[in-house]
Amino acid sequence: MHTLLVVDDQRGIRSLLREVFHQEGLCVLTAATGTEALTKLRLSRPDFMLLDLKLPELDGCVVLQEAHRLYPLLPVIIMTGCGDEQCFSQLRSYTGVVAVLEKPFDVSKLRNLVINYLYTTVVQWT
């Protein structure tokens, strides 16, 4: 069973994504802060991470850098309200960043991205 880590400070988004991906058969872990995200990354070694950039305690970019240090090929989808193309291109430069989605995003598109990646990628990073 694949494990997905959803990192977002908005409870509604965490709950919605937990439900959507649980229905797809994934084990879904959630984190509301950057600090909590780093703890769960270290303890659970997820197969995929959905990451908001605006987080309490530690910024999402810090979480992304640490995730990249721990697991260089961890697939990540960034969820952001940034909307700045320079920001997007900078984020895409990290190995493992599969997509950068601007909020509000289409949940079914996000679901399809994650599921297609997990089940059609020949070489898993773990």
Q: How far apart are the first and last CA of the chain?
A: 13
Residues 22-31, mean pLDDT to the nearest whole number? 97
Task: Identify whether the C-beta of residue 74 lies closer than 8 Å to the C-beta of residue 125.
Answer: yes
pLDDT band at 91 (very low <50, low <70, confident <90, very high): low
pLDDT band at 124 (very low <50, low <70, confident <90, very high): very low
- Model pLDDT, residue 50: 97
pLDDT digits (tens, 9 = 90+) for 36-63: 999 999 999 999 999 998 899 988 888 9
CA distance 47 to 71: 10
**What pTM did the predictor assign?**
0.88
Degrees, nearest 5: CA angle 77-64-7: 60
Percent of the chain with pLDDT over 70: 84
CA distance 95 to 91: 9
User: 88 pLDDT exceeds 70?
Assistant: no
- Model pLDDT, residue 100: 85
- Residue 76 parent element (H or E): strand 76-80
How many angstroms separate the Cα of 47 from the Cα of each of 6, 76, 82, 87, 103? 11, 9, 25, 25, 23
Fold classification of 3-120 (topology level)? Rossmann fold (3.40.50)
User: 83 pLDDT exceeds 60?
Assistant: no
- Model pLDDT, residue 92: 62
